[in-house]
């Protein structure tokens, strides 16, 4: 009785806090619900005026640039994968040998992960040439930070048992890594790597706008020159690319998990 | 008979000050099967792992083939471990790899990282692994993932892996604790055969007294980290069993299981 009552009270408290936060937030930014509702039809009309009909005249160039973007995204994911693998070995409790190194690498990974891609692009723009290389660099950094974390989590889940068994045969550290830890975690490693690549394609729009290169560069230009009808086509193209890649990686995952 | 292993006054105190082993001394001779029995927490697993230094003993001397294991440096320790096979209660296989790959792990010590990662194993080693698997009745499952095997089959893979090491001794940590009676019998028969025919001594943690009585040449009885009995099975009478298991069967039933 009191158990369920407690649960009810907790749920109610949760909802009340959520409601209060919403009210407080909209007060702060002076959000006007009524204005929002009354203005809605006008906003729709404006959208239609600006973005429609879609302009396909530049589709060929867009597809070409989309290809460049996918290539950059995959290359960056690959770079991130390699670096993240070794970083994860230093981070995971199963595989780390040195506590100081663990701390340093974990902080490095956390730093790269917790600075958003837009900020990386802006910061690195000051140091490197605007263009495809910069986009690649930013995506590599983001992939590295993300993958180091999830790889380490996957390695933490390797059973201590097989590590112990290989240690008992006189196997070396790297033999244990490549003959026990990697085989046991491979599905997770591949799955997360595909996800990182997918993320890169998704964020290529914003990175391209800021750092240059690929479809993002085109999107930035369309926005700048108010070619909204082309902009819409480009955005739909990115969404389509992400969806296609998602399908492909789902197929790959299914194969490797068997 | 030659002594393969000799423990002299070995003690182990864990960081949390739990005394797992207290002044343990015994010796293992060529071709012997020695069982270690005792209730949960008697220190059986700790004892086994101190021998190949998966756990570091706090005190005492461990002589393996006349070499002091406790004083071995990293390279020497690797050699010691190569010479000692180990079999586990949970089989400790890499389940996503095939039967053959798991058995090949027994030879890792004699290959470089690159060779083993690329599977560049010498032909005679692969053939030997296949022969061992045939001997253990797994010749049809060579390329199957270990996760698909039954418990008894997994343990046979564990035995093949240990044998491929060309061990001078095999440590078995509760090898049949997770198995049904039929598979247990098969595994114990193999261990008995390894000791007798291949002349490789086996040191086996067990918690079934009847199994220990049936298969052992000698039995070590442990109670709270101390060896309270070391002798032939026929000398293990009720008084000794009470010494090992405390208040006798009642206690044994209550604790049941494993170390």
Q: What is the CATH number of the domain that holds A241?
A: 1.10.3720.10
The answer to whether residue A162 sits within a structural domain is yes
**Who's near B3: CB < 8 A, 6+ residues apart?**
B27, B28, B29, B30, B63
Residues from chain A that touch B52, judged by Cβ atoms under 8 A, are 168
The answer to whether residue A23 sits within a structural domain is no
What pLDDT does B222 receive?
93
The residue of chain A nearest to residue B112, with distances taken between CA atoms, is A175
Closest in A161, A174, A178 to B88, CB measured = A161
Residue spans per domain, chain B: 3-83+167-255
| Interval B162-192: pLDDT, tens | 999 999 999 999 999 989 999 999 999 999 9
What pLDDT does A219 receive?
87
Mean pLDDT over B207-222 rounds to 92
The answer to whether residue A31 sits within a structural domain is no
Domain region containing A100: 64-257
Chain A: closest CA distance from residue B112 (Å): 8
What pLDDT does B258 receive?
43
Regions of chain A short of the pLDDT cut 70: 1, 258
Chain B: closest CA distance from residue A17 (Å): 45
The label of the residue with tokens 């253990």 reads B136
Mean pLDDT over B211-230 rounds to 92
The residue of chain A nearest to residue B77, with distances taken between CA atoms, is A170
The mean-pLDDT minimum among B15-19, B30-34, B134-138, B193-197 falls in B15-19
Residue to substitute from A158, A169, A171, A180, interface B, most B β-carbons within 10 A:
A169
Residue to substitute from A162, A185, A257, interface B, most B β-carbons within 10 A:
A162
What pLDDT does B125 receive?
92
Provide φ and ψ at B95, rounded to 5°.
-70, -20
The answer to whether residue A207 sits within a structural domain is yes
Angle, in degrees to the nearest 10, between helices A99-114 and A132-156: 130
Residues from chain B that touch A170, judged by Cβ atoms under 8 A, are 78-82, 108-109, 165
The answer to whether residue A20 sits within a structural domain is no
Closest in B80, B81, B93 to A162, CB measured = B93
Give yes or no for residue B257 having a pLDDT over 50: no
The pTM (predicted TM-score) of the whole model is: 0.81
The answer to whether residue A122 sits within a structural domain is yes
Residue to substitute from B49, B74, B92, interface A, most A β-carbons within 10 A:
B92
Among residues B179, B175, B210, the alpha carbon closest in space to that of B195 is found at B175
**Who's near A194: CB < 8 A, 6+ residues apart?**
A249, A252, A253
Residue A229 CB neighbours (<10 A): 17
CB pairs under 8 A between A and B: 80
Q: Examine the predicted complex and report whether its ipTM is higher than 0.90.
A: no
Contact B86 A162 (CB under 8 A): no
Residues from chain A that touch B85, judged by Cβ atoms under 8 A, are 169
What pLDDT does B1 receive?
54
Closest in B81, B92, B113 to A170, CB measured = B81
Asked if A113 and A149 touch (Cβ cutoff 8 Å), the reply is yes
Contact B108 A171 (CB under 8 A): yes
Structural domains in chain A (count): 1
Beta-sheet pairing, B84-87 with B169-172: parallel
Contact A166 B161 (CB under 8 A): no
CATH level 2 (architecture), domain B3-83+167-255 = 3-Layer(aba) Sandwich (3.40)
């Amino acid at each position: 009785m009191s158990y369920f009552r407690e649960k009810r009270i907790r749920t109610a408290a949760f909802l009340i806090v959520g409601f209060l936060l919403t009210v407080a937030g909209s007060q702060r930014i002076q959000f006007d619900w009524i204005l929002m509702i009354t203005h809605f039809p006008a906003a729709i009309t404006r959208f239609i005026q600006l973005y429609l009909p879609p302009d396909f005249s530049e589709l060929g160039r867009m597809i070409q640039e989309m290809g460049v973007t996918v290539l950059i995204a995959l290359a960056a994911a690959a770079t991130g994968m390699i670096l993240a693998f070794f970083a994860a070995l230093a981070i995971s409790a199963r595989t780390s040998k040195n506590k100081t190194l663990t701390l340093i690498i974990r902080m490095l990974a956390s730093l790269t992960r917790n600075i958003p891609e837009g900020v990386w692009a802006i910061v690195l723009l000051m140091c490197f040439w605007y263009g495809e290389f910069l986009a690649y660099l930013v995506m590599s950094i983001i992939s590295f930070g993300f993958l180091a974390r999830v790889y380490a989590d996957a390695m933490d889940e390797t059973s201590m048992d097989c590590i112990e068994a290989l240690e008992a045969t006189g196997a070396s550290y790297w033999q244990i890594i490549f003959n026990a830890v990697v085989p046991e975690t491979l599905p997770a490693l591949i799955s997360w790597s595909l996800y990182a690549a997918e993320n890169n394609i998704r964020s290529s729009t914003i990175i391209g706008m800021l750092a240059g290169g690929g479809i993002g560069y085109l999107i930035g230009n369309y926005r700048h020159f108010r070619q909204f009808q082309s902009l819409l086509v480009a955005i739909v193209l990115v969404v389509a690319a992400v969806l296609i890649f998602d399908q492909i990686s789902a197929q790959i995952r299914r194969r490797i998990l068997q | 008979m030659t002594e393969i292993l000799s423990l002299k006054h070995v003690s182990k105190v864990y960081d949390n000050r739990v005394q797992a082993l207290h002044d343990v001394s015994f010796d293992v001779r060529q071709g012997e099967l020695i069982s270690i029995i005792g209730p949960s927490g008697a220190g059986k697993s700790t004892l086994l792992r101190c021998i190949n230094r998966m756990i570091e003993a706090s005190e005492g001397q461990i002589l393996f083939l006349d070499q002091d294991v406790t004083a071995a440096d990293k390279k020497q320790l690797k050699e010691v471990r190569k010479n000692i096979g180990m079999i586990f209660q949970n089989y400790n296989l890499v389940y996503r790899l095939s039967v053959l790959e798991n058995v090949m792990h027994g030879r890792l010590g004699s290959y470089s990282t690159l060779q083993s990662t690329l599977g560049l194993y010498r032909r005679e080693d692969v053939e030997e692994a296949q022969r061992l698997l045939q001997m253990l009745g797994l010749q049809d499952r060579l390329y199957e993932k270990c996760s698909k095997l039954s418990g008894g089959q997994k343990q046979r893979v564990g035995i093949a892996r240990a044998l491929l090491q060309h061990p001078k001794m095999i440590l078995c940590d509760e090898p049949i604790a997770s198995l049904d009676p039929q598979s247990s019998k098969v595994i114990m028969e193999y261990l008995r055969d390894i000791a007798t025919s291949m002349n490789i001594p086996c040191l086996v943690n067990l918690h079934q007294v009847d199994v220990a009585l049936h298969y052992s040449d000698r039995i070590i009885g442990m109670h709270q980290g101390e060896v309270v009995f070391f002798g032939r099975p026929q000398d293990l009478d009720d008084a000794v069993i009470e010494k090992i298991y405390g208040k006798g069967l009642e206690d044994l039933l209550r604790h049941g299981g494993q170390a």
